[in-house]
Structure 1
Amino acid sequence: MLDAWYATAMLAMESQRVIELRMVKLAWGGLAGQVEAQRMVSEKIGAALEATGTLLGGGTPEAVIDRYREHVRNNVERLSAPTHPNGH
């Protein structure tokens, strides 16, 4: 039980960095902001479907949290990477 609480708390804290990075990208607007907004929505839908499949397949909530943390980690890496001046 404590492990699940810890993982959930970590997910909440780690997600804050993705939120920050995405808000900056969205605030700058342009094509990069539009692409990020579309990507964000499709990622949310995909993650929800993945979580549903995990739970329906007998997976645990902890497994879902661990997978969400992987998604968050990947987004932090992607959004933190230096970009070309024209957004590519």
Structure 2
Amino acid sequence: MYNPWLALSLKAVQMGVEAQSVIALRMLRLATGGARMEAEASRMVTEKVAAAAEAQAVAAASALSGGSPLVAASKALRVVKKRVRANKRRLSRH
């Protein structure tokens, strides 16, 4: 039997593992100090607030349009996952 909540949970775990690598890359950037460290620290806080607001707005819009809780959660996860991947790409570059 297929459980869509299990599939969503597995996607969330995958995103969590990817987020851990972003955290490691950010810690390396913060450890270097200087202007790049200050810019990264500021960007980190700003991005988290923006990602949370966007995910909440997407989930609320889905719920208000009659979508199921699973659809709302999937859309919110997609927003956060997109941000995590973008940060991983950006921080992996030299």
TM-score band, normalised by shorter chain = 0.7 to 0.9
Q: Counting helix residues as a fraction of each chain, which structure ranks higher?
A: 2
Cα distance in 2 for residues equivalent to 1:67 and 1:44: 11
| 1:68 aligned residue | 80
Structure 2 regions of 5+ residues with no counterpart? 64-71
Cα distance in 1 for residues equivalent to 2:6 and 2:32: 40
Cα distance in 2 for residues equivalent to 1:8 and 1:40: 20
Structure 1 regions of 5+ residues with no counterpart? 83-88
Which has the larger Rg?
A: 2
TM-score, scaled to structure 2: 0.83
Counterpart amino acid of 2:29? K
The CA RMSD over aligned residues, in Å, is 1.0
TM-score, scaled to structure 1: 0.88
Q: Which of 61, 64, 75 in structure 2 is aligned with 1:57?
A: 61
Superposed displacement of residue 67, structure 1:
1.8
CA contact (8 A) 1:7 1:66 kept: no
CA contact (8 A) 1:15 1:72 kept: yes
| Segments of 4+ moved more than 6 angstroms | none
What secondary structure does 1:57 align onto? helix
